[in-house]
Structure 1
Amino acid sequence: MNARIYTLILGAMVMAGLPALQVKAQSGADMDRFIDELMQQMTIEEKIGQLNLVTAGEVTTGSVVSTGVEAKIKEGKIGGIFSMTTPKRIRAAQELAVNQSRLKIPLIFGLDVIHGYKTIFPIPLGLAATWDLGLIEETARISAVEAAADGLNWTFSPMVDVSRDARWGRISEGSGEDTYLTSRIAEAMVHGYQGNNLAADNTLMACVKHFALYGAAEAGRDYNTTDMSLHRMYNEYLPPYKAAIDAGAGSVMTSFNDINGVPATANKWLMTDVLRDQWGFHGFVVTDYTAVNELMDHGLGDLQEVSARSLQAGIDMDMVGEGFLSTLKKSLDEGRVSEVDIDRACRRILEAKYQLGLFDDPFRYCDESRAERTLLAPAHLAKAREVAGKSFVLLKNDQQLLPLKKKGTVALIGPLANTGSNMPGTWSVSADLEHTPSLLEGMRALLGEQVNIIHHQGANLLEDADYQERATMFGRTIPRDDRPEAEVLAEAVATAQQADVIVAALGESSEMSGESSSRTDIGIPAIQQRLLAELLKTGKPVVLVLFTGRPLTLGWEDAHVPAILNVWFGGTETGKAVADVLFGDVNPSGKLPATFPQHVGQVPLYYSHKKTGRPLAEGQWFQKFRSNYLDVSNDPLYPFGYGLSYTTFAYGEISLSRDNLPSNGVLEVYVDVRNTGNYGGEEVVQLYISDVAGSITRPVKELKGFQKIWLEPGQSKRVVFELTVEDLKFYDANLDHVAEPGEFVVAVGTNSRDVQEGRFTLTD
């Protein structure tokens, strides 16, 4: 249905005794007038209905599925639906709203489009490893184009939770440990989803999540409590959310955790004082899945009480739980909430629908022919393959074992070698798992007859069958071999003995990370380690292709395996992209967005930790009465920003344009980088600063800039960074955003550890 037909429907409203609504105007004043007129016609029940988000049950991300959806749409008791897809289904639901409800208010349709829609890109942690903001924005743009073509207009992304605890499964869904990197990625993704015109039929409204501090859940256990100082919040955890808001994100989703005693969904300080009053956010806030109802388990009262508290805190839309729908009218009658509270929330939902152009044409996203030509388009798949290759991080490459030669016999062994369904990674709810090439299939597609590829599963994913079932949910099954382990190992070794080189595809399955997938042991499962040890005993060269959604403890592997390529979960084209990198068609350029610890006991471990009064001397392992461990050094196994290449890069000495930075000036930092190897490749040049002395304790260093550059063999390039006073600001003891005059260290290098330093002074 086009805008003209929708106008005819509105004309019919006049005949029914209801005023027609004019929807063509674009300015804020016109939108206000339109919504004022609409709300004057709405009953309290219809206003509350706009605050109700339900699931149609097609794709569920929680344990509750909504009931009676069709009847509620007709009664004006639903504002939006999520997990419904395809233009045909969405058109049918939208027709119920605009043809059979009293006021013909269209629905909004959302889905967890996290790292792709049908064309799946690397998991967000892998996307962050590209350190390529333009490329990341492009993946969000393609995701929006595909999802919008399939009827959707709202995505529950980007997830911008800073996480420094690799035990937490949802670290895979974010951009890692760093405030600055996560903030820049948040901006890029919002721009990619929303484009330049939110009312265009190929954009999605972004939803920033999870507000706030979800990535700091205690013990790395999902949904657990979070407790931190205001200084840490404002300096380290809140900036990515604000960056997404400043980039124009249209909606925000609450987090499950409590924050200093008050769960986010009922936290007025967070949702109103910070988000709206301090940051000036004008969009709408939706809860996470049944988060209002879960306030009862937090101990805040019965459903009526927690629903009222959530509304008063600043929540606008209740996801699935229907606490608003079932209790707010009663609370209004009893004086627990006001009509002003309900009107405020209702207006925000209607504004979002107006901005999306749904009042102009509620079926703008329902073109079935567009879906057919857009989903999994060849250009999208080509981009997915490119991005996946750029996300892989080369952790080790002794004696230049990689890239492999396109000849001879390669043994591909491991439980992740031939499982296409696991390649998209966690939170790929709309992926086509039936047509995703496995690593084995990707290698055969690339190599054809050039290389003889022999394959064996080698081991089960996990020794415990029940654990494996939990780790392969949602159609990500990996077959089990229930014969004695020794028998399976013997076959795998016999296969490996026939090869010139062994590629071991090991690590996590896709559902070993993600929501509700926390782990206390973050190493490669023991049964896979035993397989790897037997493969190494053959004396053949071994390449570990590591699948993971989180930093893993790889001390033994690093000590014994000559080459390790971390491929995360690269999306639809993972199998082909891994083959590209293994055999040298693509030179890996990924850098770690999260620190890999030596041992889980070091977690949380991150590069930008605070200075302490008893620091361990540089280069020391243990010193009594210093901040360290008895049994392991403080060092990570692989530091933040780390990643090798098939070529090598040499850094010249850094130089500064001046030795002081006035408060209104610019300081330039220069470094010459040269490709000293035999392959063309990309390098991520990273800039860090350190405040030598501050009014409160400061991090040892903070990322403040990076550039990804391509260099041919022998080529040099001068990289220039600009620093201003804005780069030096932090929230002080009074939560004032200040830059304090004094001395600063600036460091440039290939990762957070391997840097060279200069100094400058910030003047008044």
Structure 2
Amino acid sequence: MREHNDLKKLFLAILLCSFCGFAGAQEYPFQDYKLPFEKRVDDLVSRLSLDEKVMQMLNSAPAIPRFKIPAYDWWNETLHGVARTPFKVTVFPQAIAMAATFNPSALYKMADYSALEGRAIYNKALALGRTNERYLGLTYWTPNINIFRDPRWGRGQETYGEDPYLTGTLGDAFVRGLQGDDPKYLKAAACAKHYAVHSGPEPLRHVFNTTVSAFDLWDTYLPAFEKLVTQSKVAGVMCAYNAFQGQPCCANDLLMTDILRRKWNFKGYVTSDCWAIDDFYKNHKTHPNAASAAADAVFHGTDLDCGTEAYKALITAVKTGIIKEKDIDVSVKRLFMIRFRLGMFDPPSMVKYANTPATVLENSEHKAHALKMARESMVLLRNESHTLPLKKNLRKIVVLGPNADNSISVLGNYNGIPSKITTVLAGIREKVGQQTNVVYQQAISFTNDTLLSYLDLDNEYRINGVQGFKSEYFNNTTLEGEPVLTRTEPRIENNWQEGEKIADKLTANHFSARYSTTFKPSASGSITFELNADDGYRFMINGKNVIDAWSRNRWGAKTYKLETVKDSVYNLVVEYWQGEGSANIRFKAGTFVKTDFNALTKSHADADAFVFVGGISPQLEGEEMKVDYPGFSGGDRTSIMLPAVQTALMKSLKETGKPIVFVMMTGSAIAIPWEAENIPAILNAWYGGQATGEAVADILFGDYSPSGRLPVTFYASDQDLGDFSDYSMSNRTYRYFKGKPLYGFGYGLSYSSFLYEKCVAPAVLKAGKGMEISVQVSNKGSVKSDEVVQLYQLNNQKSIKSAAKALKGFKRISLEPGESKLVKFSLKANDLAYVDQNGSKQFYKGSITLAIGGSQPDELAANSGNIIKKVIRVN
């Protein structure tokens, strides 16, 4: 304990030392922490030159040595735990999974824990003098509150689903948890993105222009942003890549000037999405050059340029009279205000978050909460004949599928790296122990039944007579100059977060590597080499370039088949470069083998149950990816159908007559019409974070009753979808869809059953007034379980264009067997209003209908209990 205290004192001394030089003498008013932030910011900006001001408007803001202002990089992420940091952190379920918890308090706590871990990381960076590095700061470009209007959008996994009310409620909880409750200082700075009307397609995001009606804009696309700006007091907003009504979002009259800055009176900072200002003149062609684009963005209130190129032209723009320096001052003041509010220029003793110790990283509370949220997020879609829960004393369980042992899928995207990841396979094995024979076979990939059967070639790779690869690392992305590190590595299987230390002289930050070896096959025949990497790579055999993916690839695997001659020597060279984000490269070799489904099922005739873990993966869906597998394009999907090979395998498993459990991982809705009719148990596990496997096993074996609810509509087929590029909300999401979904928004089964009764609501309501409504909910089953109580308003006035049904409230409660609880909702006047064709709020007159239960009023789950409806006359 004494050693721990000594280290803590040393750490605090380093922090104080990093601060002293700046504030000690207090030469200038901006250094006087007794003055209000406004006066300090005004004083500081008044002392800066034009060049210094402009450089502070870049995401990578340089130091200002004459005022002892340290460099700072604004770019950081904490979507579901601190992302892309070189330190080990707690990784919570992906955002769409957290939305499925319908639990704002859990989201608040997750954001609070993430902010604490972020503070600990920032304090480490400060002590090490690394505040100029990306992913180490306190300004997080999260949450993503775009509406998940179309399931094909690969980044929908980053959102809180398709409903504006749910999105706003969860986004509010996240912002309050992340920013803290200190009256003076921010714990961290949240940033609502991407403002606005942005949700794919990914390949078109830099060029497309969208126009929506005033009704759709205010009814669907803006409510969550309005809530976070006007009520949650979010520190930042990120404007989107695309154009809206012919103007880029970051220089949009309606969005930026009229609504954000004037109507909502937003005083925080706005950052562009990364390189979005460049899009003005390179892609949208709305501006002739960088100077005009940058000036227009600043005129419209975009303060920070992520991308560090376009805003450099502001110096020219001022000198040529396009923009005045006083306009630059407005943005620079907003930026410094955030840094002052984060306590970056005050003594650590004054800022309670500044002393957050490194011990908060992955502490027991955080890990327990990651497990809790994973459990609460998982949605039981089907459970015929009580297939689940499984018994723990089964003799043999066969676990199959591409996600069964996939540690990439469970982490989602925009993720950090924890010390321990539990896959579904690991979770099942830990749960049943040695008494059950758990057999694993991948059997198929996501889209193919022919897999590369890897060979153990470690002993056949030789470099200078030594087994392995000669590995040369360079402090640039072009393999130029002398390597800063040369060593021998037994294999190429590396995974680093950006900025993580690779060796004493090298961090994973814009570097490149060359791996060389010789291969001497022990027999003639064919062998397939496979390269898998995040970024660019080349593969050469005997000097010939056989694989060239020298651009950002995002875990795209490429293969090359070589016909070999026994005892011949083949010189192999792999070259790799890292761009943005993590650095991952894997090189293996083997032969392709087609899986025989009949042989597979016969070999497991003695199985007591099959658990197939499939779905899709962030290796297939995500941000602007180079993926060309069937059904996927550019990070988006071209089809929402479950890949056909997975259905084919499950059809073969069904013929065995054994119980089958389909554990589906995904960040978006998947159409599974055959499975919904034929597979007895289906659990949607999303990308559940570091504790995915443990949470799945808890549900499969009955240690936790499933309680997640769908935050998106699961459609039955591609035919249910309109044009992906059409942003009209007609026939989209549960609020406007005219068809029958496979599984509706708010749907989810339990191991228990519930009864709703004794609903109390006013019979008459005055227009423009709020109301109270309550209901008693009872657990009629035999197991403890959570229930998500959902309150909807139905539009029974067909003359009014509005959602057919809309979520107006929800509460998660926990009930013991036989227990009852009274659940109360307090609806404000605006909760009971609708948006007219001009985008203005109006109040219903005549009557409204409220429905309360465990699901949508017309999407009743088998054991979600009854639905109670109340018709209320509005005068």
Deviation digits for residues 534-555 of structure 1 (CA, Å, limit 9, x no counterpart): 1112211100000101000010
Residue 156 in 1 paired to residue 156 in 2? Answer: no
Separation in structure 2 between the aligned mates of residue 241 and residue 367 of structure 1, nearest angstrom: 27
* SS of alignment partner, residue 761 of structure 1: strand
* SS of alignment partner, residue 727 of structure 1: helix
Deviation digits for residues 293-351 of structure 1 (CA, Å, limit 9, x no counterpart): 122211122222211211112110000242112x1111111111111210111110011
Deviation digits for residues 424-481 of structure 1 (CA, Å, limit 9, x no counterpart): 11221x224x731221112222222232211111112222999998674564989998
The worse-fitting range, judged by mean Cα deviation, of 578-587 and 506-515 is: 506-515
TM-score scaled by length of structure 2: 0.74
Q: Which residue of 2 is the match for residue 295 of structure 1?
A: 280
Q: Which residue of 1 is the match for residue 778 of structure 2?
A: 674
Q: Which residue of 2 is the match for residue 399 of structure 1?
A: 385
The worse-fitting range, judged by mean Cα deviation, of 704-713 and 559-568 is: 704-713
**Counterpart amino acid of residue 449 in structure 1:** Q
Q: Which residue of 1 is the match for residue 628 of structure 2?
A: none
**Counterpart amino acid of residue 148 in structure 1:** R
Q: Does the C-alpha gap of structure 1 residues 366 and 655 become closer, same or farther in structure 2, counting only changes over 3 Å? A: closer
Q: Which residue of 2 is the match for residue 341 of structure 1?
A: 327
Residue 483 in 1 paired to residue 592 in 2? Answer: yes
- CA-CA distance at 1:495 after TM superposition: 4.7
- CA-CA distance at 1:34 after TM superposition: 1.1
The worse-fitting range, judged by mean Cα deviation, of 472-481 and 239-248 is: 472-481
1:610 touches 1:699 (CA, 8 Å); kept in 2? no
2:101 touches 2:376 (CA, 8 Å); kept in 1? yes
* SS of alignment partner, residue 411 of structure 2: coil
- CA-CA distance at 1:713 after TM superposition: 2.0
- CA-CA distance at 1:106 after TM superposition: 5.5
**Counterpart amino acid of residue 114 in structure 1:** L
- CA-CA distance at 1:233 after TM superposition: 0.8
1:35 touches 1:351 (CA, 8 Å); kept in 2? yes
In the comparison of the two structures, how many residue pairs are matched?
688
* SS of alignment partner, residue 497 of structure 1: coil
Q: Which residue of 1 is the match for residue 832 of structure 2?
A: 728
Matches of residues 21-170 of structure 1 in structure 2 within 5 Å?
Answer: 21-25=30-34, 30-54=36-60, 78=61, 97=63, 100-102=65-67, 104=69, 107=72, 109-117=74-82, 118-151=89-122, 152-170=137-155
Q: Does the C-alpha gap of structure 1 residues 668 and 365 become closer, same or farther in structure 2, counting only changes over 3 Å? A: closer
Instruction: Find the partner of 2:265 among 280, 285, 294.
Output: 280
Deviation digits for residues 153-199 of structure 1 (CA, Å, limit 9, x no counterpart): 11111111111200001110001110110010010000110011286
Separation in structure 1 between the aligned mates of residue 684 and residue 723 of structure 2, nearest angstrom: 19
Residue 562 in 1 paired to residue 680 in 2? Answer: yes
- CA-CA distance at 1:8 after TM superposition: 4.1
1:157 touches 1:208 (CA, 8 Å); kept in 2? yes
* SS of alignment partner, residue 340 of structure 1: helix
**Counterpart amino acid of residue 59 in structure 2:** L
Separation in structure 1 between the aligned mates of residue 357 and residue 227 of structure 2, nearest angstrom: 32
Residue 419 in 1 paired to residue 403 in 2? Answer: no
Q: Max radius of gyration: which structure?
A: 2
Q: Which residue of 2 is the match for residue 453 of structure 1?
A: 438
TM-score scaled by length of structure 1: 0.84
**Counterpart amino acid of residue 640 in structure 1:** F
Q: Which residue of 2 is the match for residue 501 of structure 1?
A: 609
- CA-CA distance at 1:359 after TM superposition: 1.3
Residue 660 in 1 paired to residue 772 in 2? Answer: no
2:531 touches 2:586 (CA, 8 Å); kept in 1? no
Residue 373 in 1 paired to residue 478 in 2? Answer: no
1:168 touches 1:221 (CA, 8 Å); kept in 2? no
**Counterpart amino acid of residue 128 in structure 1:** A
Instruction: Find the partner of 1:704 among 808, 813, 820.
Output: 808
Residue 231 in 1 paired to residue 335 in 2? Answer: no
* SS of alignment partner, residue 619 of structure 2: helix
Separation in structure 2 between the aligned mates of residue 683 and residue 591 of structure 1, nearest angstrom: 10
Q: Which residue of 2 is the match for residue 9 of structure 1?
A: 22
Separation in structure 2 between the aligned mates of residue 494 and residue 369 of structure 1, nearest angstrom: 61
1:291 touches 1:321 (CA, 8 Å); kept in 2? no
More helix by share: 1
Deviation digits for residues 252-277 of structure 1 (CA, Å, limit 9, x no counterpart): 11111211211211213211211111
Percent pairwise identity: 31
Separation in structure 2 between the aligned mates of residue 480 and residue 236 of structure 1, nearest angstrom: 50
Matches of residues 735-754 of structure 1 in structure 2 within 5 Å?
Answer: 735-752=839-856, 753=858, 754=860
Q: Does the C-alpha gap of structure 1 residues 485 and 519 become closer, same or farther in structure 2, counting only changes over 3 Å? A: same
Q: Does the C-alpha gap of structure 1 residues 353 and 599 become closer, same or farther in structure 2, counting only changes over 3 Å? A: same
Matches of residues 145-544 of structure 1 in structure 2 within 5 Å?
Answer: 145-151=116-122, 152-197=137-182, 203-215=187-199, 217=200, 222=205, 224-245=208-229, 246-296=231-281, 297-301=283-287, 302-325=289-312, 327-361=313-347, 372-408=358-394, 409-428=396-415, 430-432=416-418, 435-463=420-448, 472=555, 475=584, 483-487=592-596, 489-490=597-598, 492-516=600-624, 517-544=635-662
2:145 touches 2:193 (CA, 8 Å); kept in 1? yes
Separation in structure 1 between the aligned mates of residue 822 and residue 335 of structure 2, nearest angstrom: 49
Q: Does the C-alpha gap of structure 1 residues 638 and 467 become closer, same or farther in structure 2, counting only changes over 3 Å? A: farther
**Counterpart amino acid of residue 293 in structure 2:** V
* SS of alignment partner, residue 171 of structure 2: helix
* SS of alignment partner, residue 333 of structure 2: helix
- CA-CA distance at 1:22 after TM superposition: 3.2
- CA-CA distance at 1:655 after TM superposition: 3.8
Separation in structure 2 between the aligned mates of residue 530 and residue 371 of structure 1, nearest angstrom: 52
Separation in structure 2 between the aligned mates of residue 192 and residue 702 of structure 1, nearest angstrom: 26
**Counterpart amino acid of residue 401 in structure 2:** G
Q: Which residue of 2 is the match for residue 546 of structure 1?
A: 664
Q: Which residue of 2 is the match for residue 69 of structure 1?
A: none
Q: Does the C-alpha gap of structure 1 residues 345 and 369 become closer, same or farther in structure 2, counting only changes over 3 Å? A: closer
- CA-CA distance at 1:513 after TM superposition: 2.4
Q: Does the C-alpha gap of structure 1 residues 362 and 306 become closer, same or farther in structure 2, counting only changes over 3 Å? A: farther
Q: Which residue of 2 is the match for residue 67 of structure 1?
A: none
Separation in structure 1 between the aligned mates of residue 636 and residue 684 of structure 2, nearest angstrom: 20
The worse-fitting range, judged by mean Cα deviation, of 716-725 and 156-165 is: 716-725
Matches of residues 538-617 of structure 1 in structure 2 within 5 Å?
Answer: 538-603=656-721
Separation in structure 2 between the aligned mates of residue 593 and residue 707 of structure 1, nearest angstrom: 14
Separation in structure 2 between the aligned mates of residue 645 and residue 481 of structure 1, nearest angstrom: 44
* SS of alignment partner, residue 228 of structure 2: helix
Separation in structure 1 between the aligned mates of residue 729 and residue 138 of structure 2, nearest angstrom: 42
Separation in structure 2 between the aligned mates of residue 351 and residue 115 of structure 1, nearest angstrom: 26
Q: Does the C-alpha gap of structure 1 residues 221 and 595 become closer, same or farther in structure 2, counting only changes over 3 Å? A: farther
Q: CA RMSD in A?
A: 3.1
**Counterpart amino acid of residue 356 in structure 1:** L
Separation in structure 1 between the aligned mates of residue 347 and residue 602 of structure 2, nearest angstrom: 64
Q: Which residue of 2 is the match for residue 637 of structure 1?
A: 742
Q: Does the C-alpha gap of structure 1 residues 520 and 483 become closer, same or farther in structure 2, counting only changes over 3 Å? A: same
Q: Does the C-alpha gap of structure 1 residues 478 and 713 become closer, same or farther in structure 2, counting only changes over 3 Å? A: farther
More strand by share: 2
The worse-fitting range, judged by mean Cα deviation, of 151-160 and 468-477 is: 468-477
The worse-fitting range, judged by mean Cα deviation, of 241-250 and 107-116 is: 107-116
Matches of residues 646-657 of structure 1 in structure 2 within 5 Å?
Answer: 646-652=751-757, 655-657=759-761
1:207 touches 1:249 (CA, 8 Å); kept in 2? yes
**Counterpart amino acid of residue 212 in structure 1:** A
The worse-fitting range, judged by mean Cα deviation, of 179-188 and 306-315 is: 306-315
- CA-CA distance at 1:44 after TM superposition: 0.7
**Counterpart amino acid of residue 778 in structure 2:** R
